[in-house]
C-alpha cells in the first residue's frame, strides 16, 4: 500500500468516526491531571544580556552600536546593529553576493527583504550576481566566473532535483563562502517529508494521475495511457530536457561543503542581521569570519530556556490542537496539552510562536549535542503522560493505546528535520523465510 493510499484510508476513518467530544469545556480540568510540585530551588532567570549565542563574532573593532542592543531587556538573540557597518562600498571594491533557491518556497528570499531599508545598503556593499527571485544573473554568468570569485553564496532550500544539485555544486565552486540559509537547506525542512513515500515515481504518479483535477484531465484526454512528464523529449528541433526529480530529498550539506548554517523557517531578521554583520565586518574591517560550521543565530540551549511561558510540569492524558482549546497566557503549552517542540528545539528565535499561543514546530532544529530532534521529543512526550495506577499491571498494548494519543509522531516531530534524521527515509520490509 502506498503512502497516499494510507493517507486516504486514514481520512476516511476519521470521517466515519463519531464527532469529537465537546470543545467548550475549560482546559484546566482536562489538561492537567496531576501537577508535580515545582522544583525546590528554582534558579533565578539569567539576565538577558548573558544569553549566549553561537555566532561568536563578538565585535572587537565594531563601532558603538553593539552595547545598545545588549542592554535591551528581551530574551533570545539580539539584532546586530548594521547601521555603522555599511557606509558605501568597501575599500577593496564591492563583494559579490549570490542568492539561490533550491527546493524552497521562496520564504527565505522574502526574509532577506525583511532587512527593510538595509537591503539598499546591502546593495552598496555587494554586487548581487545571482538571485533568481529578484535579480537578473543567469547560470551562464556564474559559469563564466572564476573559481572563488563570489564572496558569499546564500543558498536556501533542500536538494531534490538534478537542477538543484547542479546549481549548488556550481555555486560552491565559484564561492568562497557558502551559507545554508533556512531550515530546508540546513535540515531538509518540509520538502524532506517527501522521503516518506517510496520515491519520485510515486509522487509523479499521484500528482499527475490521482489528484482530482489531474485524474479528470487524464481520463478525458489520455484514457489509455496517462501522460506523466518525461525528463527528455525528442522534438524535431532536437532533444528537450527538464531536471530529474530525485527519490531522496537531501539537505545542502549532504551534497556540498557548507561553511555556515542559518536555521529558521524563515530565519528571523535578528539572525539575518548577525549573518550580514559577520559578512560586513569581514568585507569592511577585515574581521575574521566565525569558525567554519558555525550555526548562526542559535543559542546553546533549547527554546524552553527563552520561552515566556511558565512550566508547571503538569501531566496530560489528552493532546489538543491549539484551535481546540482556549490557550492560557503565561502557562506552558505542554501543560495545556498542546504538543510543543520547544523542549527539543534549539533556542535563538525568542519563542515567537509560543508567545503567540502557537506551539513550536521545531524549525530551528536540534541542539548541537543531539542529532535527532524527533528522538529528543519522544523522550519529552513520553514523560508528559502520567504514570497511572494500573501501570504496574497493564500490558504493552495498553501503553500503545495511551501513546496513540500522539497522532502521526513521525510527521509531527520530524516536520522540519527529517532530512537530518538518523533513518532519513521510508523503508520497505521484504519479508524473511
Partner 1 sequence: MADFEPRIVAFCCNWCSYAGADGAGVARLQMPTNFRIIRTMCSARVDPEFVLRAFAKGADGVVVLGCHPADCHYIGGNYRARRRVALLRMVLEQYGFDPKRLKLEWVSASEGEKFQKTIVEFVDTIKALGPTPLQKEAN
Give the alpha-carbon dihedral of 389, 390, 393, 399, to 10 degrees.
-120
The nearer residue to partner 1, 329 or 390, going by C-beta atoms, is: 390
Length of the chain, in residues:
433
Q: How far is the CB of 251 from partner 1 (least distance, A)?
A: 13
- Residue 134 C-beta-side C-alpha neighbours within 13 Å: 18
DSSP secondary structure letters along 116-141: TTHHHHHHHHEEEEE-TTT----HHH
| Joined grid coordinates for residue 366 | 536540534
Q: How far is the CB of 403 from partner 1 (least distance, A)?
A: 4
Say if CB 159 and CB 134 are below 8 A apart: no
What is the C-alpha separation between 190 and 177, in angstroms, rounded?
25
Q: How far is the CB of 279 from partner 1 (least distance, A)?
A: 32
C-alpha dihedral sign at 103, 173, 275, 82 = negative
The nearer residue to partner 1, 282 or 412, going by C-beta atoms, is: 412
Q: How far is the CB of 432 from partner 1 (least distance, A)?
A: 3
Q: How far is the CB of 144 from partner 1 (least distance, A)?
A: 29
The nearer residue to partner 1, 224 or 257, going by C-beta atoms, is: 257
The nearer residue to partner 1, 141 or 391, going by C-beta atoms, is: 391
The nearer residue to partner 1, 224 or 429, going by C-beta atoms, is: 429
Query: Would you call 392 helix, strand, or coil by DSSP?
Result: coil
Q: Report the interface residues with partner 1, using CB under 8 A.
A: 196, 370-372, 374-376, 378-379, 381-383, 385, 387, 391-393, 396, 399-400, 402-404, 406, 408-411, 413, 421-433
Nearest to 274 by CA among 208, 203, 349: 349
Q: How far is the CB of 277 from partner 1 (least distance, A)?
A: 34
The nearer residue to partner 1, 73 or 429, going by C-beta atoms, is: 429
Say if CB 202 and CB 4 are below 8 A apart: yes
Radius of gyration of the chain (CA): 25
Q: How far is the CB of 150 from partner 1 (least distance, A)?
A: 26
How many helices (H) and strands (E) in the chain? 15, 9
The nearer residue to partner 1, 356 or 400, going by C-beta atoms, is: 400
Q: How far is the CB of 359 from partner 1 (least distance, A)?
A: 17
- Residues 6+ positions from 354 with CB-CB distance below 8 Å: 303, 307, 308, 309, 333, 340, 342, 360
Matching residue, cell 546553546 = 300
- Residues 6+ positions from 258 with CB-CB distance below 8 Å: 178, 179, 180, 185, 252
Q: How far is the CB of 318 from partner 1 (least distance, A)?
A: 15
The nearer residue to partner 1, 222 or 407, going by C-beta atoms, is: 407
The nearer residue to partner 1, 39 or 60, going by C-beta atoms, is: 39
Q: How far is the CB of 293 from partner 1 (least distance, A)?
A: 21
- Residues 6+ positions from 405 with CB-CB distance below 8 Å: 317, 318, 319, 385
What are residue 153's DSSP bridge partners? 98, 178
The nearer residue to partner 1, 45 or 431, going by C-beta atoms, is: 431
Say if CB 57 and CB 114 are below 8 A apart: no
Amino acid at each position: 500500500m502506498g503512502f497516499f493510499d494510507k493517507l486516504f484510508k486514514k481520512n476516511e476513518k476519521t470521517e466515519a468516526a463519531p464527532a469529537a467530544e465537546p470543545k467548550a469545556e475549560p482546559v484546566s480540568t482536562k489538561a492537567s491531571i496531576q501537577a508535580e510540585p515545582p522544583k525546590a530551588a528554582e534558579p533565578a532567570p539569567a539576565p538577558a544580556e548573558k544569553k549566549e549565542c553561537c555566532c561568536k563574532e563578538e565585535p572587537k573593532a565594531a563601532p558603538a552600536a553593539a552595547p545598545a542592543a545588549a542592554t535591551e531587556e528581551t530574551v533570545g538573540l539580539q539584532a546586530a546593529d548594521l547601521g555603522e557597518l555599511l557606509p558605501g562600498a568597501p575599500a577593496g571594491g564591492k563583494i559579490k553576493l549570490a542568492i539561490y533557491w533550491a527546493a524552497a518556497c521562496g520564504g527565505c528570499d522574502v526574509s532577506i527583504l525583511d532587512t527593510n531599508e538595509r537591503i539598499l545598503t546591502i546593495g552598496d556593499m555587494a554586487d548581487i550576481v545571482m538571485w533568481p527571485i529578484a535579480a537578473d544573473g543567469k547560470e551562464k554568468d556564474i559559469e563564466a566566473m572564476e573559481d572563488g570569485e563570489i564572496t558569499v553564496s546564500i543558498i536556501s532550500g533542500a536538494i531534490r532535483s538534478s537542477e538543484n544539485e547542479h546549481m549548488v555544486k556550481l555555486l560552491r565552486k565559484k564561492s568562497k563562502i557558502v551559507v545554508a540559509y533556512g531550515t530546508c537547506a540546513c535540515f531538509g525542512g518540509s520538502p524532506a517529508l517527501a522521503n516518506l513515500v517510496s520515491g519520485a515515481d510515486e509522487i509523479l504518479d499521484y500528482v499527475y494521475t490521482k489528484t482530482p483535477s489531474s485524474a479528470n484531465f487524464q481520463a478525458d484526454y489520455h484514457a489509455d495511457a496517462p501522460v506523466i512528464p518525461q525528463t527528455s523529449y525528442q522534438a524535431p528541433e532536437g532533444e528537450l530536457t527538464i531536471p530529474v526529480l530525485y527519490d531522496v530529498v537531501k539537505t545542502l550539506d549532504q551534497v556540498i561543503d557548507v561553511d555556515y548554517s542559518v536555521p529558521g523557517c524563515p530565519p528571523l531578521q535578528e539572525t539575518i542581521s548577525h549573518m550580514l554583520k559577520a559578512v560586513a565586518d569581514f568585507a569592511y574591517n577585515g574581521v575574521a569570519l566565525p569558525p567554519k560550521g558555525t550555526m548562526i543565530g542559535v543559542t546553546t540551549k533549547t527554546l524552553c530556556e527563552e520561552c515566556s511561558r511558565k512550566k508547571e510540569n503538569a501531566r496530560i492524558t489528552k493532546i489538543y490542537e491549539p484551535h481546540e482549546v482556549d490557550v492560557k497566557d503565561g502557562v506552558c503549552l505542554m501543560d495545556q496539552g498542546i504538543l510543543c517542540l520547544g523542549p527539543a528545539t534549539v533556542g535563538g528565535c525568542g519563542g515567537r510562536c509560543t508567545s503567540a499561543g502557537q506551539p513550536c514546530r521545531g524549525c530551528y532544529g536540534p541542539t548541537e549535542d543531539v542529532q535527532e530532534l524527533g528522538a529528543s521529543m519522544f523522550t519529552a512526550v513520553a514523560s508528559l503522560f502520567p504514570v497511572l495506577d494500573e501501570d504496574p499491571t497493564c500490558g504493552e498494548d495498553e501503553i500503545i493505546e495511551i501513546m496513540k494519543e500522539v497522532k502521526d509522531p513521525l510527521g509531527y516531530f520530524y516536520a522540519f528535520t527529517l532530512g537530518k534524521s538518523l533513518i532519513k527515509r521510508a523503508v520497505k520490509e521484504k519479508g524473511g523465510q
